[in-house]
Amino acid sequence: MNYLSPSILAADFSRLGEQLRAIDEAGAEYVHIDVMDGAFVPSISFGMPLIQSIRPCSGRIFDVHLMVEEPIRYIQEFADCGADMITVHAEACVHLDRTVETIREKGIRPAVALNPATSLSVLEYILPSLDMVLLMTVNPGFGGQKFIPYSFEKIRELRHIIEERGLNTDIEVDGGVTLSNVEEILKAGANVIVSGSAVFQGDISENVRRFRELMK
């Protein structure tokens, strides 16, 4: 199954509730929520109070992407404010296994994200413990960047590893995804698609419908 996860980083925060309803009604299955701490990535976005206040606006899966140093410090708080899935960066966790286990213990689906230049080899032992791997296809920190072309090979390699090991881990792709490259990304083996600017610029409902059409 393929899933669309619009990133609200590109939304109009003054109309967030309304825009969440628009993506929901147009059929996006997930809501991608980018939390940035100004340390792991250069920028600061938003945190728990925002997630808590938008939780009643959507029944969709809250896919929380933590671009935060040592996210283990905040797992309980993100669980409390309504996360369904929590993604942590391998590069940001000294104790990645403990962090993933902590997420799982809270009844939340754990995922690990890798920056573009991080090797898939860091997943070797942790992969069976994950529901999803997020491959960053831009350097994290900002929306609206260009997809890094070598990522296609990385997606294909990860899909190959997952199949070879008989797992059913989802592969989420995040950064620079548009209506023009989404089919190639799916073909490479991704099945969860994050998109910020390509969803929230212009007619949101129409953008979601177009993505879903290409993702069938």
Residues that contact ligand DX5, how many (by CB under 6 A): 22
Q: Examine residue 60 and tell whether it contacts ligand DX5 (CB under 6 A).
A: no
- Binding residues for Zn ion, rule: CB under 5 A, are 34, 65, 174
Of the candidates 24, 97, 174, 203, the residue annotated as catalytic is 174
| Single residue of 10, 61, 85, 130 touching ligand DX5 by CB under 6 A | 10
- Taken as a whole, the chain contains a residue count of 216
Active site residue 12: no
| Single residue of 47, 71, 110, 176 touching ligand DX5 by CB under 6 A | 176
Which residues, 98 to 117, sit near ligand DX5 by CB under 6 A? none
Which residues, 19 to 48, sit near ligand DX5 by CB under 6 A? 32, 34
The residues that are catalytic are 34, 174
- Using CB under 6 A as the criterion, which residues of the chain lie in contact with ligand DX5 when the complex forms? 7, 9-10, 32, 34, 65, 138, 140-145, 174-177, 194-198
